[in-house]
């Protein structure tokens, strides 16, 4: 009986091993990658062999399922280097990308990573994780772009390291143009946003949720459990320009800017840590504009900013303005200040 059970276990192990081998498609160049993407089925894992890939324009289009997504992954996370004029575009459903390292180059398009492949083809229920974008800047500093741009719905950016953006444009933007991207429920979670130097002027946000053109649309985006370290691009680290967003449990460490409810309403800002040094008065906290916000359980440590860089700043409304409301309805609970 014991021998029979052992035989069945060994047979099962062989079966699953063969199944995993069938689902793993190993690629080592652009042509192999494109063939693998074109033929990918739910449950397939397209695996980049470790190495350096130059001028690689990835269009990841596929239809996975919730139980069996289609994945592009590094053989070893952090050992697949994407260089030169390279980018990643994703469209379809239930797609995953992990382990890629963008360095030594810049994107040939507006985005390094975009959750769409065209204006009509967007990604939904898709995830980019364990990736790095480091110093991946255009040659001209005044040439704007965005490193990660969200479209579609229910997409996630997690466990990534993103640092060193010097040219104009937000590091990450959630775009709400078109019904396919409104009320999107995206998640930006567990990432490390590393140093971004001062840009001078606007268009240097680390994260921008929507734009002035979609400022009263519901986004329902969550930004949680991220570390923002020396994100000094401009006065707004996170610029929330849409409704019903949640910004919680993040750490803002020596970052010269604030979390700002720029245009939208009904934003929850909860459980965040704002850490300064007691000397630099450029380190900000939370700046409130518009109505219906909840600001709860935040901690401010040695934040010495004044005016709109104060630990908590509430801006005046502008009567009859299309982008601001003069009426404020804001709740503050459980915030702690260490000066």
> For residue 9, how many other CB atoms are within 10 A of its CB?
10
Residue pLDDT, tens place only, 271-317: 999 999 999 999 999 999 988 999 999 999 999 988 888 899 988 76
DSSP state for residue 216 in the 8-state scheme: T
Residue pLDDT, tens place only, 118-162: 999 999 999 999 999 999 999 887 789 999 999 999 999 999 999
> Residue 147: what pLDDT?
98
DSSP state for residue 249 in the 8-state scheme: S
Q: What is the pTM of this model?
A: 0.90
Distance CA 306, CA 23 (A): 57
Count the residues in the chain. Answer: 339
Q: Are 254 and 276 in contact (CB under 8 A)?
A: yes
Residue pLDDT, tens place only, 10-54: 333 433 333 445 599 999 999 999 999 999 999 999 999 999 999
Higher pLDDT, 202 or 313: 313
> Residue 309: what pLDDT?
87
Superfamily of domain 137-338: Single-stranded right-handed beta-helix, Pectin lyase-like (2.160.20.10)
> Residue 211: what pLDDT?
86
> Residue 325: what pLDDT?
43
Rounded average pLDDT over 157-176: 96
Using the predicted structure, report yes or no on whether residue 185 has a pLDDT greater than 70: yes
Q: Are 60 and 90 in contact (CB under 8 A)?
A: yes
Q: What is the Cα Rg of the chain in Å?
A: 22
> Residue 318: what pLDDT?
63
For residue 178, give both structure tokens: 């078109």
For residue 38, give both structure tokens: 């074109």
Rounded average pLDDT over 188-207: 92
| Domain coordinates in residue numbering, the chain | 137-338
> Residue 149: what pLDDT?
98
Distance CA 240, CA 245 (A): 8
Using the predicted structure, report yes or no on whether residue 9 has a pLDDT greater than 50: no
């Amino acid at each position: 009986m014991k021998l029979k059970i052992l035989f069945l276990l060994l047979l099962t192990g062989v079966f699953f091993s063969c199944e995993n081998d069938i689902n793993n498609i190993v690629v080592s160049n652009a042509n192999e990658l494109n063939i693998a993407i074109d033929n990918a089925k739910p449950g397939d894992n397209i695996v980049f062999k470790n190495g350096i890939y130059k001028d690689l324009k990835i269009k990841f289009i596929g239809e996975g399922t919730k139980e069996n997504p289609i994945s592009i992954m590094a053989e070893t996370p952090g050992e697949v280097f994407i260089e030169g004029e390279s980018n990643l575009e994703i469209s379809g459903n239930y797609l995953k990308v992990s382990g890629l390292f963008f360095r030594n180059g810049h994107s040939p398009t507006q985005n390094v990573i975009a959750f769409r492949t065209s204006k009509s083809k967007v990604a939904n229920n898709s995830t980019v994780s364990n990736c790095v974008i480091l110093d991946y800047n255009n040659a001209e500093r005044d040439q704007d772009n965005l490193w990660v741009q969200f479209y579609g719905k229910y997409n996630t950016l997690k466990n990534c390291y993103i640092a060193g953006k010097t040219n104009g444009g937000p590091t990450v933007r959630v775009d709400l143009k078109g019904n396919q991207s409104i009320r999107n429920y995206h998640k930006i979670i567990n990432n490390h946003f590393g140093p971004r130097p001062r840009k001078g002027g606007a268009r240097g946000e680390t994260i921008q949720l929507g734009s002035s053109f979609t400022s009263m649309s519901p986004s329902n985006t969550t930004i949680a459990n991220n570390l923002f370290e020396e994100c000094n691009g401009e006065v707004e680290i996170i610029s929330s320009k849409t409704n019903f967003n949640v910004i919680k449990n993040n750490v803002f460490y020596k970052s010269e800017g604030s979390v700002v409810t720029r245009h939208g309403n009904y934003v929850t800002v909860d459980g965040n840590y704002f850490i300064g040094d007691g000397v630099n008065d450029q380190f900000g906290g939370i700046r409130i504009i518009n109505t219906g916000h909840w600001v709860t359980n935040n901690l401010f440590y040695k934040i010495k900013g004044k005016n709109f860089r104060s630990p908590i700043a509430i801006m005046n409304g502008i009567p009859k303005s299309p982008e601001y409301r003069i009426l404020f309805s804001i709740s503050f609970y459980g915030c702690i200040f260490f000066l």
